[in-house]
Amino acid sequence: MAAEAKYSIIREVGRGNYGVVYEAIVNKTRSKVAVKRMQCNVPENAELALQEFWALQSIQRQHENVIQLEECVLQNGQAFQPISHRYRKSDSHLLLIETCLKGRRCMDPKSACFLWFVMEFCDGGNMNEYLLSRSPDAQLNNSFMQQLSSAVAFLHRNQIVHRDLKADNILISHKRGTAVSFRLVLQVADFGLSKVCRGKGNVNQHRFSSACGSNFYMAPEVWEGHYTAKADVFALGIIFWAMVERITFRDGDTEKELLGTYICQGKELIPLGEALLENPNLKLQIPLKNKKSMPDDLCKLLHDMLAFNPKKRLDAFQLEVRIRQISYGKKCQRSPS
């Protein structure tokens, strides 16, 4: 990037539908950073990039388990302009959307429009890859659940609904614990589909209508297009259950093995939220694989996180409290079929 005087890109470490992530170094300090480039050649992509910016800039350096934004740079052709949190939202928004609407396209590099996000570098990859390369570990599961519930409660306190929680969007860092040891720190990332709610008050009072996210993690009400922040709790429930029992599916497009729970109908895998929408009385078989795989209180917690009716589902603040009370002593009883 033009900030080549400031950063040097080393290699590509990830690629999605809307952006590319690179490992880079800060030339002055030689410290590692992650640089995410989001192309804004059409207004829809620009909106995704801006949603990520508004979410990250509003919570800079406030929670260990949320990815930290170091800097954001707007590239307009060959010109690069840092976007400061001091800019008014409307100014930056109109500048970027106007640039896109003038017909700039990525085919002409001289008129390319991108947002570059410079963030802290997570050296442990994503949660999905990390867990599937290791044997199940109850203590690690407990730590991950506590960190994620704390992160989502923090986001919701700050009026931010993520709307695309999944193991691929959660990164891992090894941070120094003592002079001779490191601790694993999860960091929620990828805020392109997030929503920063206007006004104060309980985030759970805000309602959304855009069905977005990844199918296997979407709550039943998201499929309908009428939902609240509690959809994030449902997604966490999918992640927690899959993590504890190592339930996976293979992505149809990438053939990648992913953590996630679902309902089997013959050879077809149905996302849990979609299955619940079709049959609200569906009894979830928790645990699915092994009666010894989780304690009673965790089993009950997952049922409360994955409730079909959002009014009966835990919110993020209740989850944060409940997760601290989980024990790994008692076995869980199966729900009746």
DSSP 72-109: EEEEETTEEEEPPTTS-HHHHHHHHHHHHHTT--TTSG
Q: Which of 91, 137, 164, 297 is catalytic?
A: 164
What whole-number distance in Å separates Cα of residue 247 and Cα of residue 259? 6
What whole-number distance in Å separates Cα of residue 36 and Cα of residue 80? 15
What's phi and psi for 236, nearest 5 deg?
-60, -40
Three-class DSSP category at 150? helix
- CB of 36 closer than 8 Å to CB of 117: yes
Strand stretches in the chain, DSSP E: 7-15, 19-26, 32-39, 69-76, 79-82, 113-120, 160-161, 170-178, 181-188, 195-196, 248-250, 257-259, 262-265, 268-271
What is the distance of C-alpha 335 from the center of its chain? 30
- CB of 165 closer than 8 Å to CB of 65: no
Residue 164 designated active-site:
yes
Other C-beta atoms within 10 Å of 180: how many? 6
Catalytic positions are 164
